Each structure stands twice: as C-alpha cells, then as structure tokens.
Amino acid sequence: MIESNVFQRTTTTDKIISDAQYNLAMGAVLGWGFFVNWIIVQTVDPEYLRSINSLLFVVLYFASAMYGIHLFTKSDDPVKSFIGYNFVVVPFGLIVNMVVSQYSTELVLEAIQVTGGVTIIMMILGAAYPAFFQKISGALTGALIAVIIVEMVQIFIFGMHSSWLDWAVAAIFCGYIGYDWGRANQIPKTLDNAVDSAAALYMDIINLFLRVLRIMGRRR
C-alpha cells in the first residue's frame, strides 16, 4: 500500500483481484454486516438497550464506530480491516434494533425493499457518472453536517423533529451511495479495498434505511 487512506489509493503492492472477485468480496462483506444486524435484532432486547444510560450509550457507540472506521481506512490488511468493519457493524446494529422495534414487521420489510431498490439505482448511477458524484461530494458533506446540527438543535432545544429532515438525510445518503460506489471502482481492486469499500457502503445503506423507515412509518 502506498497511501494510508483507502479512497486515496491509486497504486498498491497488494495482489490485484478480478472485477468479479472484487464485487463478490464487497457483496460478502455487506451481507455479513446485514446478517450481524439481523442477529442483533433477533437476540438483543431493545428495552434493555433503552435502559442503558443515554450518555454512556452514545459515548460507547461513537467510540466503537470511530475506532472501526479508523481501523479499516488506515489498514491495508483485509483481516484487520474486517475487524474494524465489525466495530462499526455492532453499534449500528444496536441502533437498528431500537428503531425497527417501533415498527411492524411488514413495514420494516417494505423499507428494506425500498432501500434495496434505491441502492441499486444509485450504484448504477455512481458507476455511470463517477465524476459527477465526485464533484458533489463536498456539498454532500456540508449538507449532512448542516442537517445534523439543525436536527440536534430541534431535538435537544426545541423538543421537536421536522419531517423534512428525514427526507434531506435520505437524499444525502443516496448521493453518498453513488459517490462511494463510484470511487470503490476507481481504486485498485484488492481484497482489502473491497472490504473498506463495503464498509463505507454499509454505513450509507443503513443510514438510508433508517430514514426510509421513519418516512414510511410517519406516512402510515
């Protein structure tokens, strides 16, 4: 590996794999993350999670997720990157567990279908127009930060939540899926890069799913 951040890599000393192997590896890593989330939803009592001190839960959530992101973005070892990925998957799974417990199984399945369809469309667009998504990446980041600030102010100061925020975040993560898929196919196709790219896409897809679920739940 020449560069430390996965998405800045243009050259590598690692073994290059075929396009099919690269895509299969990404699919397998994504599938593992969704499987772990499903196990967490099936086995962990969401009421127990809600009973945990909120500040402690948030601190542990961000500590685990940030450590995992640091691990997989800075490593060129696929095993180490996969371990980092799991440090992200578990706390995300706990959040998913608490959210989906508030909705019917039918609605959750519908939200999964919508998220899957949107993800496929955005991947196709990301592959077809990678330069466009590269250009808007800065705007996506700025918009996400702005929306998060507005959302936190509304929740913790005014005790409210505007429905348009869910639509805004969903749109932003649609853009991120296209962006991350596009750049995943522009870096050297190694096993480690497949793991790292899948990790980035996993976070995009889960965030999109949670917002889609809230939007659909509100409409019901």
Q: pLDDT tens, 22-45?
A: 999 999 999 999 999 999 999 999
CA angle 7, 68, 61 (to 5 degrees): 130
Within a domain: 4: no
CB burial of residue 139 (10 Å; 0-12, 13-18, 19+) = exposed
Within a domain: 3: no
- The residue whose two tokens read 């969401």 is 46
CA separation (Å) from 49 to 91, 115, 169?
11, 25, 25
Q: pLDDT tens, 39-74?
A: 999 999 999 999 999 999 999 999 999 999 999 998
pTM (2 d.p.): 0.92
CA separation (Å) from 158 to 63, 87, 143?
27, 33, 21
Within a domain: 179: yes
CA angle 215, 136, 172 (to 5 degrees): 10
Q: Could you say which residues of the chain have pLDDT below 50?
A: 1-4
Q: How many domains does the chain have?
A: 1
For residue 9, give the 3-state DSSP assignment: coil
Within a domain: 165: yes
Within a domain: 208: yes
- Domain range for residue 64? 15-219
Within a domain: 211: yes
Rounded Cα distance between 119 and 68, Å, is 23
Within a domain: 10: no
Nearest CA-CA partner of 151 in 164, 138, 139, 141: 164
